[in-house]
């Protein structure tokens, strides 16, 4: 019993082991605090990685019927496939509801490391145009922090993680601590030069958490391609083999897997959290772990679900929800607008085993900037991700001899797809569904979100602008898409427990600490005030480091 990890009182309980939870565990345990790191799923080992496995070795050749049966929602994610679908949640065991006219796709993993195992790895800083957007256009409110507050923590994260990229000196996308960038193709160089010369816009190589040289004991990328199936060389950043590994190595971090947290426990007399209650995944036993502080890093919607399920007599609408803001202002980047075409004067020669660069190009936001001024059709802006690479085999036209000639000749495709800012609206929210529970008896979420007129106008403009830039670079056969995908498709959900200085209008303070319960910190994407248009994970990690350093300092001052 003396070695039972549930019998001791920890300094900090961290819930979730993904991009932010790993950082929380690392930062706090390296500061000398005793940490319990709780993960709802099982551990993952490199033996499960399949990035080098050809499809013919799969039982169903990539068409496993079990995926559609047990993961009808998860299969909407590009990364959920026969190779790895068991990392994703079983939708039958992990339900949630939505209004029929406001669908939302929620992509989730329950294994050690969570979505850091399959994320797209694009890593971009936000600027003060993002943090102080409300001061520019009058919509909603500014963040309670500035770029200067977060810049040192961006540095810490980038130096450790290893971000390959190029400095561009574009104030809309602050430069960081970069490893050498991956190389652009000749089609991408053409598009980059054309965009700069004809439009004054910046196209850069994607800034990604993938190594291009040895870094912190990890090997550089060898361009095998399917990163979402794992990486034997740990060349891309995932928490189990970096931050979580470092945390456990300190001797101060106890990892507890298969622990599905249902709610935060409260000591009413002190108005402080005393620990968390969880359900063991396999046996469905209810257990508790005690701690002096609780850090939620379960993922924006999941952390908010835990807080909503932690209601007490003092907090009947959810723990730390005296403002009534908990669950509201849900955001996910809008996608669906863009264009594609062909550079007919460039050729892609067929190869039996070509290198597969694991990232693409990024076009920096150019609407509603200090340099371009106010755009009349919508507020905020969008950036593009895309590529221009040789295409052959399945992409070649024709049948028989015509097809063979097309394969030999090859084509050179080019595309740009937009990621636009999702405005923070009170009526985009999640709440507890009064009738629905998961397989462990924990009340499930009801998610209600829709993109509005601003997002739709943004995607239409993104399509037209992409087509103009491709045409100016010499592309032919240009095709545009102007649709607006349902929320959740970007897999960039943030918000629902926003930070702020006014406890009546926000859930957390500027250090992601609950206004109402001083020893509860929410250190994941929940705290976002606005979504900007950049991929959010780098900012999430920087905010988590900042929040945990502040918490560690409070421990040193005996304030917890």
- Mean of per-residue pLDDT scores for the chain: 96
Q: Phi and psi for 154 in degrees, rounded to 5?
A: -60, -45
Instruction: Check residue 85 and report its DSSP letter.
Output: G
Structure confidence at residue 403 as a pLDDT band (50, 70, 90): confident
Collect all residues with Cβ–Cβ distance below 8 Å to 287 and sequence separation of at least 6: 6, 259, 277, 278, 279, 280
Rounded average pLDDT over 323-331: 98
Question: Cβ distance 182 to 190 under 8 Å?
Answer: no
Question: Cβ distance 51 to 227 under 8 Å?
Answer: yes
H or E stretch covering 71: none
Question: Cβ distance 520 to 264 under 8 Å?
Answer: yes
Question: Cβ distance 388 to 345 under 8 Å?
Answer: no
β-partners of residue 508 are: 499, 514
Residue 36 has a pLDDT of 98
What is the percent of the chain with per-residue pLDDT over 70, rounded to a whole number? 99
Rounded average pLDDT over 56-63: 93
Per-residue pLDDT reduced to its tens digit, 339-392? 999 999 987 777 777 789 999 999 999 999 999 999 999 999 999 999 998 876
In angstroms, what is the C-alpha Rg of the chain? Answer: 23
Angle (CA) 367 480 474, round 5° = 85
C-alpha–C-alpha distance, residues 523 and 505, integer Å: 19
Residue 273 has a pLDDT of 98
* pLDDT at residue 210 greater than cutoff 60: yes
C-alpha–C-alpha distance, residues 343 and 354, integer Å: 20
Residue 391 has a pLDDT of 74
C-alpha–C-alpha distance, residues 31 and 52, integer Å: 38
Question: Edge-to-edge strand order for the sheet containing 382-391?
Answer: 203-205, 361-363, 382-391, 411-420, 334-342, 476-482
Residue 1 has a pLDDT of 45
* pLDDT at residue 37 greater than cutoff 80: yes
* pLDDT at residue 263 greater than cutoff 70: yes
Rounded average pLDDT over 89-93: 98
Q: For the chain, what percentages of helix, strand and coil (3-state, to nearest 5) are there?
A: 25, 25, 50
Per-residue pLDDT reduced to its tens digit, 280-292? 999 999 999 999 9
Q: Domain 9-556 maps to which CATH number in 3.50.50.60, 3.90.800.10, 3.40.50.300, 3.40.50.10190?
A: 3.50.50.60
Question: Cβ distance 496 to 298 under 8 Å?
Answer: no
C-alpha–C-alpha distance, residues 320 and 323, integer Å: 8
* pLDDT at residue 488 greater than cutoff 50: yes
Residue 404 has a pLDDT of 81
Residue 492 has a pLDDT of 98
Residue 257 CB-half CA count within 13 A: 12
Nearest to 334 by CA among 410, 271, 418, 395: 418
Q: Phi and psi for 245 in degrees, rounded to 5?
A: -60, -45
β-partners of residue 499 are: 508
Can you give the three-state secondary structure of 197-249, one letter per residue? Answer: HHHCCCEEECCECECCCCECCECCCCCCCCHHHCCCCCCECCHHHCHHHHHHH
H or E stretch covering 461: helix 453-472
**Any idea which residue has 């905010």 for tokens?**
543
C-alpha–C-alpha distance, residues 180 and 282, integer Å: 45
Question: Cβ distance 263 to 273 under 8 Å?
Answer: no
Give me the sign of the Cα torsion angle 223, 224, 227, 232.
negative
Q: Domains of the chain: which residue ranges? A: 9-556
Residue 393 has a pLDDT of 54
β-partners of residue 164 are: 179, 208
Nearest to 426 by CA among 498, 368, 502: 498
Give the distance between the most distant pair of CA atoms in the chain: 81
């Amino acid at each position: 019993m003396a070695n039972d990890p549930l019998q001791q009182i920890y300094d900090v309980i961290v819930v979730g082991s993904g991009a932010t939870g790993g950082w929380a565990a690392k930062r706090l345990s390296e500061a000398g605090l005793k940490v319990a790191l709780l993960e709802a799923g099982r551990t993952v080992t490199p033996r499960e990685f399949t990035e080098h496995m050809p499809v013919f070795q799969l039982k169903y050749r990539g068409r496993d019927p079990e995926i559609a049966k047990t993961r009808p929602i998860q299969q909407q994610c590009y990364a959920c496939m026969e190779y790895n679908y068991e990392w994703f949640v079983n939708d039958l065991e992990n339900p949630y509801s939505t209004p029929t006219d406001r669908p939302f796709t929620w992509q989730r993993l329950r294994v050690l490391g969570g979505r850091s195992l399959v994320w797209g790895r694009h890593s971009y800083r936000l600027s003060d145009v993002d943090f102080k957007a409300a001061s520019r256009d009058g919509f909603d409110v500014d963040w309670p922090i500035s770029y200067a507050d977060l810049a040192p923590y961006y540095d810490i994260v980038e130096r450790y993680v290893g971000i390959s990229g190029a400095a561009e000196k574009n104030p809309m996308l602050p430069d960081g601590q970069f490893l050498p960038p991956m190389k652009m193709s000749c089609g991408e160089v053409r598009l980059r030069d054309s965009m700069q010369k004809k439009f004054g816009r910046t196209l850069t190589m994607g800034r990604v958490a993938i190594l291009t040289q040895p870094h912190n004991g990890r090997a550089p990328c060898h361009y095998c391609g399917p990163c979402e199936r794992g990486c034997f060389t740990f060349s891309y950043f995932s928490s189990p083999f970096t931050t979580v590994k470092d945390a456990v190595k300190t001797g101060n971090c106890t990892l507890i897997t298969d622990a599905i947290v249902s709610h935060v426990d409260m000591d009413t007399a002190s108005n402080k959290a005393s620990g968390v209650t969880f359900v063991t995944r396999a046996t469905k036993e209810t257990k508790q772990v005690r701690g002096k502080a609780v850090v939620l890093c379960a993922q924006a919607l999941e952390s908010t679900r835990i807080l909503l399920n932690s209601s007490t007599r003092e907090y009947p609408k959810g723990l730390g929800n005296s403002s009534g803001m908990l669950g509201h202002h849900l955001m996910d980047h809008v996608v669906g607008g863009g264009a594609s075409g062909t550079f007919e004067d460039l050729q892609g020669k067929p190869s039996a085993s070509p290198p597969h660069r694991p990232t693409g190009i990024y076009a920096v936001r150019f609407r509603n900037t200090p340099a371009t001024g106010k755009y009349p059709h919508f507020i905020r802006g969008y950036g593009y991700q895309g590529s221009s690479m040789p295409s052959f085999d399945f992409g070649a036209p024709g049948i028989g001899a015509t097809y063979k000639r097309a394969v030999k000749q090859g084509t050179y495709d080019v595309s740009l797809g937009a990621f636009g800012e999702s405005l923070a609206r009170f009526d985009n929210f999640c709440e507890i569904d009064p009738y629905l529970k998961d397989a462990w008896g924990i009340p499930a979420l009801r998610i209600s979100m829709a993109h509005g007129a601003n997002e739709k106008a943004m995607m239409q403009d993104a399509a037209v602008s992409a087509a103009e830039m491709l045409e100016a670079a010499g592309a032919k056969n240009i095709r545009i898409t102007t649709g607006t995908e349902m929320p959740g498709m970007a897999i960039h959900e943030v918000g629902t427990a926003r930070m702020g200085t006014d406890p009546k209008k926000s859930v957390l303070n500027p250090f992601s600490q609950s206004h109402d319960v001083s020893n509860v910190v929410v250190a994941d994407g929940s705290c976002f005030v606005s979504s900007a248009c950049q991929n959010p994970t780098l900012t999430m990690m920087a905010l988590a480091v900042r929040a945990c350093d502040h918490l560690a300092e409070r421990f040193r001052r005996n304030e917890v």
